[in-house]
């Protein structure tokens, strides 16, 4: 590994974004960050040249605060090498798209700074070998996420920039989220996980004496005594960061951010940080006693998220919300595939585990290159049509042909249609999930089938009702600017290209994948979706309406979080304020102690009579007492 | 052979008749220049000579002292003499006894001069405050001279006990502290400015000189330690409900003198040994205590000289009428806010206590610092809140600048300050 290249990959976006603060014009800021991102992307390729295989293959380390185990250290292997290139190139494409998408925005300095800041933070997570150093990036992406979700802090244009229908309420709880509130929701949820994550890092450092990932990996069975507690505390970080159930909500309302932000942070990169960390730490945690329980939990959380989020994606009526639901679903698939890999790898040995984890990792790649163009494309749709609601505008395929083509290609890849990249990555990931459930005696086929069946339903529903059918646009709609459509079209074709490469790579597996139960479930779902949303749209079922409502209301989790939990927290805070802050702290520090000191002080000052005779008397008496004290 | 510096002081005294003909401020300024000039001839005490010289000039510039300008000059010269005696006593131990007596003589000159300055106003209260100072200071000096002679020639323990009581009276520690509040509140504020810098720094320097001649007896160290710890707590508690400038800062002065004395008492009660501290490295505990004493005296003196020197009222048992913004720095230095000068002696005292294994003393000093905060903040408000325009003068600006410069440069100065 050339550490210089790796550091350039990591820090060039940040350097560009910091410099952009000092440039006067919006364009200058934008193009400087684009340049920084392009260079970072080029260096990401050089960093991984020549490619290396395995995990924690090469490491580089310089001490920062060695007493606390803090090193600035990097690791290069097949996971970080590919992830680094994926992140850096996606950043480049999306910031390029942003040049036009964010043109005329009222906060360019904020946007461009945090985009570069985010890129560097994400690349730190990707390459970091030291968990404390990784934590820097981990918190950095959280901060950038908050800053960019709430980018439109004025909370204006609710029909475009909010999530939900303004004014919509469920049992006294608002069901619409302005950017400022969504940013807060995101950071609060992530901080809950980060708190536990931080404790787990400290625990690991104290218990094992190192937080170097490569060092922990080399410990092997010596790490077995770590126990399950730190593993589950650790798990809280990825669960919240990757929006796993029941922490999915923040990701859905994060769609208040600019679409470029949704594409980069809340689809292709940051949300993947959690599952990426699950993957690269799996070989370490596999050595810990009780790891089976940990991997089973990961499998169950992932599968649950995949199914429930797919249902949300199938029922909601906003372009970006459908995509956000599908992001959560795919993150669930990746997490579940990691859990499955862990369960299977425990019995199969180290090499088998790495191979299975690689399958889970490939789904990150497949999902990212499919989802990023979808977000960018629908960003262009919202930009042109002026609405975010699915059903408010339709037949866009006629007006935005390049965008429509890119969206079709990307969506077919996302839902797992052969020969796109998504087909290979998703099918193999679903196999991991199925085999994982089978390994613990549960019906894997049922879970995997349901996941594979739901994906085409929400995917084709979105395309059918926006590109093919739906109401004619009221105003003339034209194709997006080339600076916008070129990046997502290139990425959509990349999904096809990568699919071709994977077909070549996994030619032997092709027959098995096509005959798998997961693919059969996909075909059933695809046929149903084609009929319901593309060929004969408009079929409605009264019987399914209550079920649809549950999905549409996102399993009432917003009502629980924004209503019940907020009420409980608010009242608990009041209780603590009255009982502890006012009752104890105020009374003790602001009433009792000052009263006591004022009495003592006044008593001392009463000696100050002004009479010289008394003063001398006090001095002599005091001296005598002192002499007695000395003599005794 | 007579030390040349003594001749200079004698020359100053011989200038007395001039006071009848020349405005005192010119005399004081001229004496300040002379003290400053002496810095070039006495390198070991150059720091003090420079400091005291410019302070005398600043005070002279700010106030028409009349004939008592000579007293101002003499009080500065006596402190310079005390500093000189201290440094010479260390540099030439064979003559230490001579310099110790010179120090005591400087103390007498200082008291007489400061008394005159305290009483220089036209109010009855001014005289009352000055008299209380004079009486307690006289008792203190009597005990000191007596104690020093006994410690030298008869019984060191008894001698040091008397010396300790002498310093208790002189520095206004509990139980002989009551004069100080009246002296600060009732005397002429310009006189109080001189008292805080010259009248308090001189006895501290004399204490250091005497300690170099005859080590303090353990019994006396115990008595002084008890007195110092009681005094700081008493003063900081009493200061909490004091309202006027003079009274609050009197309690502050008692507390500062207590911190200084506590350092010396700690070392002589628990034993002088090498200690390793941040910033100063490894040095003897007595050297660290000497640093605390000098810095505490400077902190208290500079801060209060700035504050009282800027008062335009007839006595300080009141709140100020005019805003003096430069004094905010002086108040913060007295409070001990880093990196101002006042932070360092408290820090060193805490570190010294810990190095000697006296965690309780360290905790008590920290608690006392916290306890003192409210009354310093009250003074801060009183300095800032009066109507403008700001009435900063030469003394307040000089002392606040010194609080910053000496505070920031303290890590560099610390080792060089103590012989």
User: Checking phi first, is residue A182 left (phi over 0); if not, alpha (psi -120 to 50) or beta?
Assistant: alpha
Question: Which residue from A111, A86, A64 is spatially nearest to A9, judged by alpha carbons?
Answer: A86
* Averaged pLDDT for residues A593-598: 92
- Give me the pLDDT at residue A349, please: 67
* % pLDDT > 70, chain A: 100
| Pairs across A and B, CB distance < 8 A | 69
Helix (H) or strand (E) holding A373: helix A350-385
Statement: residue B1 has pLDDT above 60 = no
Statement: residue A328 has pLDDT above 80 = yes
- pLDDT class for A305, splitting at 50, 70, 90? very high
Statement: residue A83 has pLDDT above 80 = yes
Sequence-distant contacts of A534-542: CB under 8 A, at least 24 apart:
A534/A460, A534/A463, A534/A464, A534/A468, A534/A469, A537/A464, A537/A465, A537/A468, A537/A469
Angle between helix axes A444-463 and A319-348 (nearest 10 degrees) is 160
A478-492, B308-322, B363-377: segment of lowest average pLDDT: B308-322
- Give me the pLDDT at residue B322, please: 85
Q: Are B194 and B69 in contact (CB under 8 A)?
A: no
Mean pLDDT of chain B: 91
Tell me if A597 and B226 make a contact (CB, 8 A cut-off).
no
DSSP letters along A223-290, please?
GGGG-HHHHHHHHHHHHHHTT-TTS-HHHHHGGGS-HHHHHIIIIISHHHHHHHHHHHHHHHHTTSTT
* Averaged pLDDT for residues A153-172: 92
Q: Summarize pLDDT for B2-28 with one digit per residue, the tens.
A: 667 777 777 777 777 776 677 888 888
Statement: residue A49 has pLDDT above 80 = yes
Within a 13 Å sphere around the CA of A603, how many CA atoms are in the beta-carbon half?
7
Q: Say how far apart CA A58 and CA A76 lie, in whole Å.
A: 5
Chain B residues close to A626, C-beta within 8 Å: 165, 175, 223, 226-227
- Give me the pLDDT at residue A215, please: 94
- Residue B245 C-alpha, separation from nearest chain A C-alpha, in angstroms: 15
Q: Say how far apart CA B212 and CA B96 lie, in whole Å.
A: 8
Residues 68-97 of A with CB under 8 A from B: none
Where do we find the tokens 């220049």? B33
Within a 13 Å sphere around the CA of B97, how many CA atoms are in the beta-carbon half?
6
Nearest CA in chain B to A603: B238
Tell me if A600 and B237 make a contact (CB, 8 A cut-off).
yes
**What are φ and ψ of residue A186, in 5° steps?**
-65, -50
Tokens of A422: 């998504």
Q: Summarize pLDDT for A551-575 with one digit per residue, the tens.
A: 999 999 999 999 999 999 999 999 9
- pLDDT class for A602, splitting at 50, 70, 90? very high
Residue in A611, A616, A621 to test binding to B, most B beta-carbons within 10 Å: A616
Statement: residue B353 has pLDDT above 70 = yes
- Give me the pLDDT at residue B22, please: 76
Residue B234 sits at the chain A interface (C-beta within 8 Å): yes
Tokens of A45: 């390729």
Q: Summarize pLDDT for B105-136 with one digit per residue, the tens.
A: 999 999 999 999 999 888 899 999 999 999 99
- pLDDT class for B265, splitting at 50, 70, 90? very high
- Give me the pLDDT at residue B257, please: 97
- Give me the pLDDT at residue A316, please: 95
Residue A607 sits at the chain B interface (C-beta within 8 Å): yes
A601 vs B176, B222, B237: nearest CB: B237
Tokens of A618: 């006090």
- Give me the pLDDT at residue B65, please: 65
Tell me if A619 and B175 make a contact (CB, 8 A cut-off).
yes
DSSP letters along A183-237, please?
HHHHHHHHHHHHHHHHHHHHHHHHHHS--BHHHHHHHGGGGGGG-HHHHHHHHHH
Q: A62-66, A175-179, A388-392, B29-33 — which one is most confidently predicted on average?
A: A175-179
Chain B residues close to A604, C-beta within 8 Å: 234, 237-238
Statement: residue A187 has pLDDT above 90 = yes
* Averaged pLDDT for residues A129-139: 96
Residue B224 sits at the chain A interface (C-beta within 8 Å): no
Tell me if B227 and A626 make a contact (CB, 8 A cut-off).
yes
Q: A65-69, A485-489, B122-126 — which one is most confidently predicted on average?
A: A485-489
Question: Which residue from B127, B62, B77 is spatially nearest to B308, judged by alpha carbons?
Answer: B62
* Averaged pLDDT for residues A20-49: 95
- Give me the pLDDT at residue A544, please: 87
Mean pLDDT of chain A: 93
- Give me the pLDDT at residue A42, please: 96
- pLDDT class for A632, splitting at 50, 70, 90? confident
Residue A167 sits at the chain B interface (C-beta within 8 Å): no
Q: Say how far apart CA A314 and CA A310 lie, in whole Å.
A: 6
- Give me the pLDDT at residue B2, please: 60
Q: Are B241 and A598 in contact (CB under 8 A)?
A: yes
Residue A600 sits at the chain B interface (C-beta within 8 Å): yes
Dmax (CA) of chain B:
60
- Give me the pLDDT at residue B9, please: 73
Domain ranges of chain B: 4-417
């Amino acid at each position: 590994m050339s550490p210089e290249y790796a550091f350039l990959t990591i820090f060039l976006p940040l350097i560009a974004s910091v410099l952009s603060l000092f440039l006067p014009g919006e364009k200058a800021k934008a193009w400087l960050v684009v340049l920084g991102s392009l260079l970072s992307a080029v260096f990401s390729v050089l960093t991984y040249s020549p490619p290396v295989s395995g995990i924690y293959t090469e490491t580089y380390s310089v001490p920062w605060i060695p007493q606390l185990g803090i090193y600035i250290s990097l690791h290069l292997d097949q996971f970080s090498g590919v992830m680094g290139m994926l992140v850096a190139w996606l950043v480049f494409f999306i910031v390029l798209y942003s040049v036009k998408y964010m043109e005329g925005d009222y906060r360019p300095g904020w946007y461009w700074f945090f985009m570069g800041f985010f890129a560097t933070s994400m690349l730190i997570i990707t390459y970091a070998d030291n968990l404390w150093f990784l934590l820097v990036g981990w918190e950095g992406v959280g901060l950038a996420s908050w800053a960019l979700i709430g980018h439109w802090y004025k909370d204006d244009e609710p029909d475009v920039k909010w999530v939900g229908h303004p004014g919509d309420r469920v049992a006294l709880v608002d069901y619409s989220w302005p950017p400022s509130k969504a940013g807060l929701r995101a950071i609060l949820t992530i901080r809950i996980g980060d708190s536990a994550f931080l404790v787990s890092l400290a625990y690991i450092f104290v218990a094992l004496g190192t937080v170097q990932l490569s060092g922990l990996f080399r410990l092997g069975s010596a790490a077995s005594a770590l126990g399950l507690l730190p593993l589950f505390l650790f798990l809280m970080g990825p669960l919240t960061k990757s929006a796993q159930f029941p922490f999915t909500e923040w990701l859905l309302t994060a769609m208040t951010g600019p679409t470029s932000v949704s594409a980069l942070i809340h689809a292709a990169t940051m949300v993947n940080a959690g599952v990426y960390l699950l993957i690269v730490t799996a070989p370490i945690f596999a050595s810990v006693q009780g790891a089976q329980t940990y991997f089973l939990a990961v499998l169950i959380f992932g599968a649950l998220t995949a199914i429930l989020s797919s249902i949300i994606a199938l029922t909601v009526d906003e372009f970006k919300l459908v995509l956000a639901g599908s992001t959560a679903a795919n993150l669930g698939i990746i997490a579940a595939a990691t859990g499955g890999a862990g369960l299977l790898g425990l019995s199969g040995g180290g090499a088998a585990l790495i191979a299975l984890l690689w399958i889970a990792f490939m789904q990150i790649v497949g999902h990212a290159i499919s989802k990023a163009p979808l977000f960018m494309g629908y960003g262009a749709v919202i930009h042109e049509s002026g609405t975010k609601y699915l059903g408010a505008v339709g037949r866009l395929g006629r007006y935005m042909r390049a965008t429509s083509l890119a969206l079709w290609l990307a969506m077919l890849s996302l839902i797992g249609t052969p020969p796109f990249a998504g087909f290979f990555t998703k099918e193999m990931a679903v196999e991991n999930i199925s085999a994982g459930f089978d390994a613990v005696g549960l019906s894997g086929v049922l879970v995997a089938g349901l996941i594979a069946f739901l994906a085409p339903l929400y995917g084709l529903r979105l395309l059918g009702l926006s590109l093919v059918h739906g109401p004619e646009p009221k105003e003339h709609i034209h194709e997006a600017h080339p600076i916008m459509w070129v990046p997502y079209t290139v990425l959509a074709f990349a999904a096809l290209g990568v699919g071709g490469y994977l077909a070549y790579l996994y030619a032997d597996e092709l027959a098995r994948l096509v005959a798998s139960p997961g693919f059969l479930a996909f075909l059933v779902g695809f046929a149903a979706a084609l009929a319901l949303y593309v060929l004969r749209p408009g079929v409605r079922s009264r019987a399914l309406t209550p079920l649809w409502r549950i999905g549409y209301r996102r399993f009432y989790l917003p009502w629980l979080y924004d209503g019940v939990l907020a009420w409980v927290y608010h009242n608990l805070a009041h209780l603590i304020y009255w009982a502890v802050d006012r009752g104890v702290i105020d009374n003790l520090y602001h009433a009792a102690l000052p009263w006591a000191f004022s009495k003592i002080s006044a008593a001392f000052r009463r000696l100050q009579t002004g009479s010289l005779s008394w003063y001398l008397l006090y001095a002599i008496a005091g001296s005598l007492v002192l002499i007695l004290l000395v003599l005794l | 052979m007579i030390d040349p510096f003594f001749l200079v002081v004698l020359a100053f005294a011989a200038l007395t008749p001039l006071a009848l003909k020349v405005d005192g401020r010119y005399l004081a300024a001229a004496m300040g220049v002379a003290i400053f000039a002496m810095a070039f001839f006495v390198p070991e005490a150059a720091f003090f000579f420079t400091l005291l010289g410019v302070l005398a000039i600043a005070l002279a510039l700010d106030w028409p002292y009349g004939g008592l300008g000579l007293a101002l000059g003499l009080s500065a010269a006596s402190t310079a003499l005390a500093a000189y005696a201290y440094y010479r006593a260390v540099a030439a131990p064979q003559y230490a006894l001579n310099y110790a007596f010179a120090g005591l003589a400087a103390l007498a000159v200082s008291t007489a001069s400061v008394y005159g300055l305290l009483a220089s106003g036209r109010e009855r209260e001014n005289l009352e405050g000055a008299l209380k100072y004079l009486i307690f200071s006289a008792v203190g000096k009597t005990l000191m001279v007596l104690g020093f002679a006994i410690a030298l020639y008869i019984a060191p323990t008894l001698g040091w006990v008397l010396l300790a009581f002498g310093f208790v009276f002189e520095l206004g520690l509990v139980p002989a502290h009551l004069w100080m509040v009246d002296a600060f509140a009732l005397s002429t504020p310009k006189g109080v400015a001189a008292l805080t810098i010259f009248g308090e720094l001189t006895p501290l320097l004399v204490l250091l000189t005497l300690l170099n001649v005859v080590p303090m007896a353990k019994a006396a160290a115990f008595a002084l330690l008890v007195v110092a710890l009681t005094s700081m707590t008493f003063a900081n508690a009493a200061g909490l409900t004091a309202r006027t400038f003079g009274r609050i800062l009197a309690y502050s002065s008692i507390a500062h003198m207590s911190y200084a004395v506590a350092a010396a008492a700690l070392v002589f009660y628990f034993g002088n040994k090498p200690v390793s501290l941040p910033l100063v490295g490894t040095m003897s505990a007595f050297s660290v205590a000497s640093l605390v004493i000098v810095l505490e005296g400077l902190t208290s003196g500079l801060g209060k000289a700035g504050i009282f020197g800027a008062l335009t009222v007839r006595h300080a048992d009141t709140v100020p009428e005019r805003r003096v913004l430069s004094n905010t720095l002086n108040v913060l230095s007295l409070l001990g806010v880093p990196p101002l000068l006042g932070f360092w002696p408290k820090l060193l005292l805490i570190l010294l206590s810990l190095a000697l294994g006296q965690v309780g003393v360290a905790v008590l000093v920290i608690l006392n610092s916290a306890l003192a905060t409210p009354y310093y903040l009250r003074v801060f408000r009183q300095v800032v809140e009066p109507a403008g325009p700001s009435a900063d003068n030469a003394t307040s600006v000089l002392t606040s600048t010194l609080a910053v410069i000496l505070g920031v440069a303290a890590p560099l100065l610390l080792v060089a300050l103590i012989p």
